[in-house]
Structure formats: C-alpha cells, structure tokens
Amino acid sequence: MDVGRDVSDPEMQDGRRSSEVTSAAGQTALWLIAVLLGVIAGALWSRPGDGGLSAALAQNPPLAGARGVYAFTGPLDRDQYGLFMLDVDQGTIWCYAFETVGGTRKLRLIAARTWVYDRYLQDFNCAKPDFREVQALVTQQRERAAAGSPAPDASSLAPGDPAPREK
C-alpha cells in the first residue's frame, strides 16, 4: 500500500477497480477469440464428406498443357525461336517456327513426327559406344566381379576402350 495517499480517496479506489475490470474484460475477450479460432480451424480441418484433407492438395499441379498435350518454346536457330508441341497420348511431337511475313508474325509448321515405334529400335544413328559395346562391357564387369578380380587399370585398356570411372 502506498504511504502518503489516502485510502479513502474515491479516485484511487475507482482507478484500481476500473483497471481491474478492464484487464479482466480484456482477458475474457482474448480467451473467447482463441476458442473461436480453434473451433473454426477444427471445422475447416474436418469438413463432413471431405475425408480429412482434400486429395487435390496432394497432387502436383499440371504443366502448361491439357489432356496430355504440352507446349514449350525453344531456339531453332541463332535468331529464330519455335513452339514445340508434345502429345503424350498420341505419341507425336511437332514444331512451329515464328516468322515475320509482310510485317506480321506468323507460325509455320516446320516438323512433325510420331515416336510410337522409335522405342522398338535398338540401334539407329547412335555415336560410339553403341548398345552392343556397352552390353559387352557390362558383361565383362559382372564376370570380373563374380570372379573377385579387381577392375582393370587404364594401362591395360585397348585403344578406344572407355576408361574406368572412379566411384
């Protein structure tokens, strides 16, 4: 208690009471807000018929395309760009070039093909080593590993053989 102040002073008593009432009312309002926010969060999290979080939230957003058709741009030449279209459902790719004709920019189809049968090719227009050479190297490595012998060093390789890689 403060010494030198009169306890019977009505302003002092009202000041204490009004601050106590104000802080109690403020605390009640804060608790009420916290409880209401908790109720709202619980209602949003467990919506009826939703089964928890929506399955759409777990999916990756699609790329720029629809129903398996994708479009992207890229350079065709040093100063020329093209629009590439890819249809994964039909197995085709095609390309348009951006050209200026009479002051108007236009698209011109410059290439198209299907790759449906490309996956059946084993060796077409490939640089060395071709798949047969790679297959033979893998077989040799597996045989050496089964026999327990170390891998050959670079000096024992024939000219043109690829050097062994360090792991």
Summarised one tens digit per residue, pLDDT across range 57-115 is: 666 665 555 578 899 999 999 988 899 999 988 899 999 998 888 999 888 999 999 99
Q: Which helix or strand (DSSP H or E) is residue 164 part of?
A: none
- Supply the pLDDT for residue 167: 45
Alpha carbons within 13 angstroms on the beta-carbon side of residue 104 total: 4
- Nearest alpha carbon to residue 84 among 73, 98, 68, 69: 73
Summarised one tens digit per residue, pLDDT across range 1-20 is: 455 555 555 555 555 555 56
Within 8 A by CB and 6+ apart from 128, the residues are 160
Kindly state the average pLDDT of the residues 123-151: 87
Q: Which helix or strand (DSSP H or E) is residue 33 part of?
A: helix 10-45
